[in-house]
Structures are given as structure tokens and as C-alpha cells.
Amino acid sequence: PGHLYVVATPIGNLADITQRALSLLAKVDAIACEDTRTTGAMLTRLEIRRPLFAYHDHNEKRAATSIVERLQAGESIALVSDAGTPAISDPGFRAARECQRHNIPVVPVPGACAVTSLLSVSGLPTDAFFFAGFLAPKSAARRRFFEEYRDFKHTIALYESTHRIEKMTAELEDVLGPERVVCIGRELTKKFETIKTGTISQIREFMKSASKKGEFVVLIAPQGYEL
């Protein structure tokens, strides 16, 4: 069979594409992507032209089966998501699992990832961390999560979108108290990149005057951690 290459793409800065990603994307038989328009636009800027097909949350199971069939027929396929590392809060794991089940090689082509990017500059403990991805959309469930992990010994990493970031940080302050240390990263690698570490109350104060537009990573330091 051919190989499935799971290829990371930039999270905002096109220059973060790796040399290896460039050469693989240019030579695979096809590229499975979340959104053919998003990936198509990126490939145009990179001057790469390969056939694209959709692989997203709504057809993941079916698409994973067809990826396996194509790989068994000898094709090589790259799997990408809209941004960053596939399968990290993005579709991808089912394709990898189907390939593993059929003894088809799955090859990682690492690169940008929002959570590791922020961890690397946060100044928070990074020897061990828990990546919780996106929290539940309902406030009560998020509060329960914060209560459950209040005494967790390692840094906790979350993804959050523009429209919930204020509500979520207010809940954080409510449940974990204003002195808990957090780090917030907005629009990482992009023009309006903002990275701020401080107590929740400092961060909330800072956010009052800062733009809340864009994509966020939130890191919560272990209880008792001081800057």
C-alpha cells in the first residue's frame, strides 16, 4: 500500500510550513483536507497543485474507508486540516485508526500546533501538561470541569473561540479564584499576536481593553504556582 502522511500546516503564518510538508504535498497523489477551499487557497499561495478531496467531521467515517481503499490501491495521500496539526482538536484520528487496522503506514509530518506554540513561551510548567481541547459549550459543564480539575498538579491547556473567551475566563475566575496563574495566547503567529501571562484577575483586566477577536489558547497553571 501507499503511505498516509499526516501533514501539519501553519496556524496563521504561511512561512511556518515545513520543507518536508512542501515537498510531500507537491508529490502525493491526493490531499485529504477539511475544507477544499481553505486548503486550496493555501496550496495556491505555495504554488502547489494536487487533487483535493474532503475529509471532515461529517464524512470522516466514510472518507476514512475510501482513504484506506486508495492507499491499498497504491496511492499516497496527505491528510491536512484547516490549520495546524491534524487530529489535534481537528479531524484525522479515524483515518489514522483505519490505516493502523489495515497495516497501512501512517507517517507524521510535524509542524505548527497552537497548544505547543503557546506552552513553549508561556513561562508555565511544561514538563507535564493536560490538553483538554475545546470545553463543553454549556456554562454549567465548563464550571464542573474547572471544579473537577481545580487541584490538578500540572498545567491545563484549552482551546477557545472568540465568542466564548470572555465568558470562559469569567467562569475561571469564579471557580479557581482571581489569583490562579493563567496564560492566554491570541492569534499566535499572526499580525495581532498577543501573549499574556498573569493572574486571572490581571488577565481579565488586560482583556477589557484588548481585542477579543481571533483564536485563543488558554493555559492554567497548577494551583499555588507563582510567577
Chain residues that interact with ligand SAM, rule: CB under 6 A:
11-12, 81, 83-85, 88-90, 113-115, 159-161, 185-190, 215-217
Three cell numbers written together for 184: 492566554
Indicate the residue whose CB is closest to ligand SAM.
84
Q: Name 207's Cβ contacts closer than 8 Å, sequence gap at least 6.
A: 165, 166, 169, 184
Least Cβ distance, residue 224 to ligand SAM (angstroms): 26
Choice between 58 and 151, CB closer to ligand SAM? 58
Query: 217: helix, coil or strand?
Result: strand
Choice between 133 and 224, CB closer to ligand SAM? 133
Choice between 175 and 188, CB closer to ligand SAM? 188
Least Cβ distance, residue 2 to ligand SAM (angstroms): 24
Query: Position 162: which residue type?
Result: T
Least Cβ distance, residue 43 to ligand SAM (angstroms): 18
Least Cβ distance, residue 177 to ligand SAM (angstroms): 24
Least Cβ distance, residue 37 to ligand SAM (angstroms): 16
CA 3, CA 105: separation in Å to the nearest integer?
Answer: 5
Q: Which long-range contacts (CB under 8 A, 24 or more apart) does 138-141 make?
A: 139/167, 139/171
Choice between 156 and 188, CB closer to ligand SAM? 188
Question: Of the candidates 63, 69, 111, which has an alpha carbon nearest to the alpha carbon of residue 91?
Answer: 63
